[in-house]
Structure 1
Amino acid sequence: MATVLLVGFAVLLVLNVPVSFALALASLAALLYGGMPATLIIQKMTASMDSFVLLAVPFFLLSGHLMGRSGIARDIVDFADSLVGWLRGGLAHANIAAGTLMGGMTGSAVAEASSTGGALIPPMIAKGYDRPFTAAVTAAASTIAVMIPPSIPMIIFAVVTGVSVGDLFIAGVIPGLLMALALMFTSWIFAVRRGYQRGPRPSLAHIGRATRASVWGLIMPLVIIGSIRYGIATPTEASVVAVLYALFVGMYVYKTLTWSDVPGIIHDTAITTGIVMLMIAAASLYGLIVTREQIPQAAAQLIMELTTNPYLVLILILCVYLIAGMLLDLGANIIILVPVLWPLVKSLQIDPVQFGIVTVLGLAIGLITPPVGASLFVTCGIAKTNLLEGSKAAFPFIVALLAVTLLIIFVPAVATWLPYSAKG
């Protein structure tokens, strides 16, 4: 069965079949080959989507669409520029700061790359920034969106492993800020070497105006994290609160949303949600094969023959993630790889929250590495540069993100201190 699954999956990917369909068809073929009844297959797929935690996915996506359509992205960019735009290579720093703040609204790296890239890449090019550099820094900044809550990949990881979504959300805050600092340091080195100019130093009055204009967007991540941290709402309930908050801001504060806009926004959200849910349903079949063929046990035995050192094991896993990230989408990789690696992680008593953060960050690097590199593909299109040049420019940012990942591996408290201290 495993051979049928792997060969079928590889062939379908080569034929450019979408990942979710490739996974479903290959799994279906393998299960039928193994003599599994078709009714069990259907039951498994539907049961996998019957999850209270998964209800958070469409609501967080909907809140991100609502906030994006309201025009708050423009104010977030202005606020970020007022804070760091005066540094050497100011627009690059503003790009990263905006990506960090926008991540708390969208939870999606590609959505953040598109919105921030559309707002900042053209003015960066007009100020003399190299086109591949503008694409690379925007794509790299977008990876922070999957670390700062709400993060859709973290929800998928929680569904696959049973780890608390709230713990993962809170754990992503410090790594997300470290990612921003690492990317800003890398951008500063570029700016010094290439002579990129500083932006004008803003007055306190300008910073005050930018802060007041963006305060509604800045509050949203605090609403999500605060409601979870203080037990006011579960992550799923917090996602509904986020939707109501986004509706209020868009309709009554910014007054850029009307009820006639809502059906179109819901339509866009439904399409994205359908993609995620179909992938999870297809992955349930994959999980059935993984369990039946004892693949996790074999993988654990293979790695433990090499080493039982938790740090080295996590580094080996990171290497797997970096390769997988070049080939498949982040969500698909979590669904495919984590069930195989999870028994090994538990046997070595690696902290599950630490593993979750390493997983999401390690696979997020694939968003800026070819040939998939979804965020880099989007930003290269906005910057009107080819993917090869964008990939070359992205390499230093990849190194910076790897450094943060290794820090989390060797110093687990970077990821675990905040969620566990929040519990008292």
Structure 2
Amino acid sequence: MTQASLTTAVTADQLEADPPDESAINKTLNRWIAPIEAISAALMVAIVLMLFSGVAMRYLFHHPIGWIDEAVSHAFIWVAMLGAVLAMHRNEHLRLTMFVDRMPPRMRGLVHAFAIVAIAAFLVGLIGPAIEHVESEWVMTSPALEIPGGVRVAAIATGLILMLVIVAVYSLKTVTKSNLVIAIAGVSAFVSVCLWLAPQFAQLGLLNILIFLTGLVALCLVAGVPIAFCFGCGVMAFLAFSTNVPLVVMVGRIDEGMASIVLVSVPIFVLLGCVLDATGMGKAIVDLLASLIGHVKAGMSYVLLGSLFIVSGISGSKVSDMATVAPALFPEMKRRGNKRPEMVALLATGAAMADTVPPSIVLIVLGSVAGVSIAGLFESGFVVAMVLLLALLVLARWKARKEETGSVKRPSMKVIGRLALIAAPALVLPFLIRSAVGGGVATATEVSTIAVLYAMLIGQVLYGGIGWKRLYAMLVETAALSGAILLILGTAAAMAWAITQSGVVQELSQFLTTLPGGWITFMGVTILVFLVLGCLLEGLPAVLLLAPIMFPIAKKLGIHEIHYSMVIVCAMNIGLMMPPIGVGFYVACRIGDAKPDEVMVAIWPYIAALLVGVVVIALFPWFSTFML
């Protein structure tokens, strides 16, 4: 299961109106996508093996290899950009579709055309600067491998060109000629007007933030433009029409946003989630918990929450967690009289609760962007998740106060022992990850490779294994999903830089640090802001946009960076699951096969419980820092 479920592909009525045209160029496109998939899969394997070799040589043989980080960095940027190409081909780039889905069919088709043209305009505008960036980097060589820097950053230009080809082909397949002409004319008119008004924009100062980095980005979001391209269009327009900054600087910021070695763990933990799903290791944990506490009052709710807590400590992905737990538990919960809306509401809020359990992709990205210790975030994340877990457990027990449990018998010790034996290798993984990072054996990036290889070995020996075709498909799936995530990181980093350079951060800092109530009021504002951003955006973009802005303010007010990180992540995760806008809410409904309107009624008590937990975490720093 991937985060492709967070996106909506071309709508069904559009496909019916414009059936795919299997032209020669389209068949050619499908043929050259296969080599891109193969290269991406090979690079993923190379990254995992190189990182694992680095850990083994350093920790076991005390002979570190100096060139590994460099080689991984080169391979990683190519995986990111080729993955973004694959995500474009598979229509898996994250986007907000709530508004587009509510439009009449004719308007929906026109808006879809505008979204396609906006993506193409961004790609066309950035290809030239990306090539210029390659030329400027080519004169520099890497210290260990002595490879020209242009070899690495050529991935950005290559990815942009390939995505433009795919967009052009898919525009012919999914957009009528009349809508395409109108969209091209509209976007061209917008660009022309902005160029004409550029001298006036240059005089507006901070108002350009509202016009381009807020207004234009919001307009693109409503139109269903993928989030990465929403940020990209906003930054490009801001720089091109209101400043004299060349667009090659934007390419450099995108490169910098995607280049951190810490972010290499993102695709590897995504791969780990795929391995758990394929081998059934996650289901083994769920079955064990059900045998231990499933017979008590509210027992299956406890099992669901406990499973999410444990499985999240392995996969690092909310979507993977929900997709593992729901199919294993929902049939039995339904048999015991649980209503589907309540089950899905608990699934969604449970996933939000568990997202601070390491290895959390959001924590890894936050640590990279804000310069916070990832080992410290991992240590704190367990405790913070337990506070939220307790809030949900109390509510679940109260809701089950009238539940009858007499007909449910506890399994025999023989059955429990057998299930414990099956689940034991899987249960080792969370402790392996936490101890390796906390003990300094490996970084968060390196421990992800150890976890993947361990899971694949145990899965092969004890859980039926993974066939070569399935493994290849998982590697391609990982590259595509990672590309979609990492392109968001790159464009969001460029947007955060643009906002910072505008000077608005200093004014915002002045305002927030003088609010009455000091750090407590600032924490309240933080919770509110990230609840809203969590609703509108998937978690990573929200973190990337505001973390560089908010952390310096928190530091001025004397708030511990780990404490502040926990509040941000928790508030953002709750916002992600809040109806009627939260993207994660609709993912949970889709996974749980429930109607959003029904779940919307059931989820609010659970959201309230999580909010109580976040307020406790915000007011009492001890929960976030006592493990440090």
TM range (shorter): over 0.9
For the residue of structure 1 that corresponds to 2:521, the secondary structure is helix
Contact 1:361 1:405 in 2 (8 A): yes
**1:71-150 alignment to 2 at 5 Å?**
71-150=280-359
* d(CA) in 2 for partners of 1:66, 1:210: 20
**C-alpha spacing 1:370/1:190, structure 2 compared with 1 (3 Å):** same
User: How far off its partner does 1:127 sit?
Assistant: 2.2
* d(CA) in 2 for partners of 1:357, 1:152: 14
Higher alpha-carbon deviation: 121-130 or 104-113:
121-130
How big is each residue's C-alpha offset from its partner over 1:265-312, in whole Å with a ceiling of 9 and x where there is no partner? Answer: 111111111111101110121122112112222222222332352122
* d(CA) in 2 for partners of 1:231, 1:209: 34
Structure 1 unaligned spans of 5+: none
RMSD: 1.7
Tell me, yes or no, if structure 1 residue 220 matches structure 2 residue 429. yes
Tell me, yes or no, if structure 1 residue 233 matches structure 2 residue 424. no
For the residue of structure 2 that corresponds to 1:125, the secondary structure is helix
**C-alpha spacing 1:71/1:209, structure 2 compared with 1 (3 Å):** same
* d(CA) in 2 for partners of 1:35, 1:15: 29
* d(CA) in 1 for partners of 2:391, 2:295: 18
**C-alpha spacing 1:73/1:136, structure 2 compared with 1 (3 Å):** same
Contact 1:358 1:405 in 2 (8 A): yes
Contact 2:318 2:352 in 1 (8 A): yes
User: How far off its partner does 1:210 sit?
Assistant: 2.1
Higher alpha-carbon deviation: 43-52 or 163-172:
43-52
Tell me, yes or no, if structure 1 residue 63 matches structure 2 residue 63. no
Q: Quick one: which of 380, 387, 398 aligns to 2:596?
A: 387
* d(CA) in 1 for partners of 2:526, 2:407: 40
Contact 1:186 1:400 in 2 (8 A): yes
TM-score when normalising by structure 1: 0.94
How big is each residue's C-alpha offset from its partner over 1:123-153, in whole Å with a ceiling of 9 and x where there is no partner? Answer: 2223221111011011111123311110001
Amino acid at match of 2:616: L
Contact 2:535 2:583 in 1 (8 A): no
Tell me, yes or no, if structure 1 residue 329 matches structure 2 residue 329. no
Counting aligned pairs with the same residue, the percent is 29
Contact 1:295 1:340 in 2 (8 A): no
Contact 2:257 2:494 in 1 (8 A): no
**C-alpha spacing 1:70/1:397, structure 2 compared with 1 (3 Å):** same
Counterpart of 2:96 in structure 1 is: none
Contact 1:112 1:145 in 2 (8 A): no
* d(CA) in 1 for partners of 2:470, 2:563: 40
Counterpart of 2:466 in structure 1 is: 257
Contact 2:308 2:350 in 1 (8 A): yes
Counterpart of 1:186 in structure 2 is: 395
**C-alpha spacing 1:118/1:20, structure 2 compared with 1 (3 Å):** same
**C-alpha spacing 1:391/1:37, structure 2 compared with 1 (3 Å):** same
**C-alpha spacing 1:220/1:198, structure 2 compared with 1 (3 Å):** farther
For the residue of structure 1 that corresponds to 2:626, the secondary structure is helix
Q: Quick one: which of 240, 251, 255 aligns to 1:32?
A: 240
**C-alpha spacing 1:367/1:232, structure 2 compared with 1 (3 Å):** same
User: How far off its partner does 1:198 sit?
Assistant: 7.3
Contact 1:89 1:199 in 2 (8 A): no
Counterpart of 1:370 in structure 2 is: 579
User: How far off its partner does 1:334 sit?
Assistant: 0.7
Amino acid at match of 2:507: A
Contact 2:436 2:442 in 1 (8 A): yes
* d(CA) in 2 for partners of 1:414, 1:300: 26
Q: Quick one: which of 296, 319, 323 aligns to 2:505?
A: 296
* d(CA) in 2 for partners of 1:215, 1:311: 43
How big is each residue's C-alpha offset from its partner over 1:363-418, in whole Å with a ceiling of 9 and x where there is no partner? Answer: 01023212343443233234443212212211111111112211211211111111
* d(CA) in 2 for partners of 1:52, 1:375: 28
Q: Quick one: which of 204, 209, 228 aligns to 1:2?
A: 209
* d(CA) in 1 for partners of 2:509, 2:325: 41
User: How far off its partner does 1:58 sit?
Assistant: 1.1
For the residue of structure 1 that corresponds to 2:260, the secondary structure is coil
TM-score when normalising by structure 2: 0.64
For the residue of structure 1 that corresponds to 2:440, the secondary structure is coil
**1:300-311 alignment to 2 at 5 Å?**
300-307=509-516, 309-311=518-520
How big is each residue's C-alpha offset from its partner over 1:247-274, in whole Å with a ceiling of 9 and x where there is no partner? Answer: 1122122123133321111111111111
Structure 2 unaligned spans of 5+: 1-207
User: How far off its partner does 1:202 sit?
Assistant: 3.5
Contact 2:489 2:540 in 1 (8 A): no
* d(CA) in 2 for partners of 1:62, 1:197: 42
* d(CA) in 2 for partners of 1:101, 1:251: 21
Contact 2:509 2:553 in 1 (8 A): yes
* d(CA) in 2 for partners of 1:119, 1:151: 22
Contact 1:183 1:401 in 2 (8 A): yes
* d(CA) in 1 for partners of 2:506, 2:408: 56
**C-alpha spacing 1:373/1:87, structure 2 compared with 1 (3 Å):** farther
Higher relative contact order (CA 8 A, sep 6+): 1
Amino acid at match of 1:240: T
Contact 2:284 2:422 in 1 (8 A): yes
User: How far off its partner does 1:167 sit?
Assistant: 0.9
Counterpart of 2:364 in structure 1 is: 155
Contact 1:147 1:175 in 2 (8 A): yes
Counterpart of 1:14 in structure 2 is: 222
For the residue of structure 2 that corresponds to 1:326, the secondary structure is helix
* d(CA) in 2 for partners of 1:31, 1:391: 41
For the residue of structure 2 that corresponds to 1:192, the secondary structure is coil
Counterpart of 2:253 in structure 1 is: 44
Kindly report structure 1 stretches of 4+ aligned residues shifted beyond 6 Å.
Answer: none
Contact 1:160 1:335 in 2 (8 A): yes
User: How far off its partner does 1:8 sit?
Assistant: 0.8
Counterpart of 2:567 in structure 1 is: 358
User: How far off its partner does 1:356 sit?
Assistant: 0.8
